């Protein structure tokens, strides 16, 4: 876990445009994309569980519990292994909240995609990526059959992370 955190900050602090630096930044960018996707899903799932718990506790006369926080590390599958990923807490928390807002229908699909992409843009900028990666591509793909105003132009894919 500490290695994934160190790799993120190493990529963020790399200066110059050497081939090795671009490759490493791309690798960590792919991991960050997978991390944010998983945090979005976690936020959506936890929002559903949280709503059910709140209803149950309120009917029992208890106090509404706090919404859980996102996990600081995520496990993602690569082509050859499962690895831990890391993004700074402020970015993970933003994406977690977006996932929970989407799940509870507090925001619609267009707003969700816009907000998620803003977080991805911040992480991409933090890492110094040449092009920002596309956030929540799985949701974009899922919504493609329905009319959606916002569509991704391209996806940055360095082949590192497969599953979110």
Kindly give the confidence (pLDDT) of every residue in the chain, 164 residues in length, as a single tens digit, with 9 standing for 90 and above. 999 999 999 999 998 778 999 999 999 999 999 999 999 999 988 877 766 766 676 677 777 767 778 888 999 888 889 999 999 999 999 999 999 999 988 999 999 999 999 999 999 999 999 999 999 998 888 888 755 444 333 333 444 444 44
Q: How far apart are CA 93 and CA 148, in angstroms?
A: 25
Tell me the C-alpha distance between 98 and 39, whole Å: 9
Report the phi/psi class of residue 61: left, alpha or beta, with left for phi > 0 and alpha for psi in -120 to 50.
Answer: left
Rg (CA), the chain: 17
pLDDT for res 143: 85
Q: What pLDDT score does 117 carry?
A: 97
pLDDT given at position 94: 96
Tokens of 15: 């200066």
Measured CA to CA, the distance from residue 116 to residue 69 in angstroms comes to 17
- Please give the Cα distance from 164 to 155 (Å, whole number): 15
* pLDDT recorded at residue 155: 33
Give the CA-trace dihedral at 102, 105, 109, 115, to 10 degrees: -40
Which residues sit opposite 155 in a β-bridge? none
| C-beta atoms surrounding 43 within 10 Å | 26
């Amino acid at each position: 876990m500490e290695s994934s955190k160190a790799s993120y900050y190493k990529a963020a602090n790399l200066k110059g445009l050497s081939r090795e630096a671009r490759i490493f930044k791309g690798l960590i960018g792919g991991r960050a994309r997978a991390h944010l996707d998983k945090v979005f899903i976690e936020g959506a799932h936890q929002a559903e569980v949280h709503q059910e718990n709140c209803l149950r506790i309120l009917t029992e006369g208890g106090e509404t519990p706090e919404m859980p926080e996102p996990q600081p590390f995520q496990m993602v599958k690569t082509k050859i292994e499962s690895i831990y990923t890391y993004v700074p807490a402020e970015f993970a928390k933003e994406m977690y909240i977006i996932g929970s807002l989407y799940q509870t229908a507090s925001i619609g699909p267009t707003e969700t995609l816009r907000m998620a992409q803003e977080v991805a843009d911040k992480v991409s900028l933090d890492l110094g990526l040449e092009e920002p990666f596309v956030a929540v591509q799985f949701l974009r793909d899922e919504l493609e059959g329905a009319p959606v105003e916002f569509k991704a132009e391209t996806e940055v894919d360095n082949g590192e992370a497969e599953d979110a």
